[in-house]
Structure formats: C-alpha cells, structure tokens
Amino acid sequence: MVKGGIIFRVDGSKELGLGHISRCLNLAETIADEFRDFNVPIHFITVKNPGSDVLFKNSGFSEFVIYIKESADLKNFGKLINDFSPKVLITDIDLRNCTENYLETFFPGLFHASLHEHNFGLLTGDVVIAPTICPMVPCEKGEIGVTHFNGAEYILLSKEIGEIRKSAQP
C-alpha cells in the first residue's frame, strides 16, 4: 500500500448514473498525466455494482479501486483514510444529509475538494466545485472564486471528447 497521494470517494450505478465516476476517472487521468514525474498514488473508494465496475475495469485505475459495502459506511471509510493517509480527498457524492458525519471522518491536514453540484450550498470542504452550467449560490460562508467554483469551465470531459472537439474547430 502506497501512502499519501489522492483518494477519490465516488459512487455510481445504472440507477444513479455513471457520470460522477466518469468525471473522477477523467480528473484522475489528467492528474496522473500532468504529475507523472512525481508518481502520485491515486486510489478510488466506491460501492461495488455492475455498472461502475465496468468503468473501473476499462480504466487504468482498476487495481487501485477499494470497494465498500454501502455509501454510508463511514467507519470503513475512516479506516481507509487513516491507512492511506492521503494528502488530497476528492469527493463526488451527495453530502446533503451526512455532511457533519463525513467531515468528522477527515483528518487535519487533508485537503478536501467536493465535486458534487448538490453540495454547492454547503461548506463541505476546502473547495466546492459544481461542474454544471446552472448558476448556483454558495453557502453563507462560501465565496465564489475562493471556496466555491461553478460553471461550464469545470465540466470534466474525457480526452477523447476533447480531441473530437479540437478536430471539429476550424
């Protein structure tokens, strides 16, 4: 087990959709490419289900996926955070009903970025990024451009889609 690095906490299923996992895989791939000289360890913590399992198997991160039994499994999640001692935690899960419980699980010195648009009205981490074209209002203590970021420029597309877009431009 490699300590440090980045942990992504994300779920997806056929019912929920797989966009959150795709978004995190795209971001992880970009981080791995941009910082390859630093060999940053990247792991994923997720609930196992057939839909998401296929995405992870087709990614370069399949051996770095840790499965938990259910999304609310905070005890196991906290143990994994403690075991891996990441420097960065990126969550793409809806924290609306469990923010305090999740934040109590994080440790001091751990940078937390929340990518879930439903968390934009919450203060759920060091930064909250809503990759959506819908205008949103941050929480009372949040500040646009400082703690909260929103807009189309934060939508994370795969390299393949980016290449298609580049080739289609005159």
| pLDDT-based confidence at residue 1 (cuts at 50, 70, 90) | low
- CATH 3.40.50.150 for domain 6-168, yes or no, is no
Say how far apart CA 136 and CA 44 lie, in whole Å.
28
Which pTM was predicted? 0.79
pLDDT in tens, 106-131: 666 788 888 877 766 666 678 888 77
For residue 165, is pLDDT > 60? no
Q: Which amino acid is at 130?
A: A
Residue extents of the structural domains in the chain: 6-168
Say how far apart CA 167 and CA 67 lie, in whole Å.
38
**Higher confidence at residue 106 or residue 44?**
44
pLDDT in tens, 51-61: 788 888 888 88
Residue 168 backbone phi and psi in degrees, to 5: -85, -15
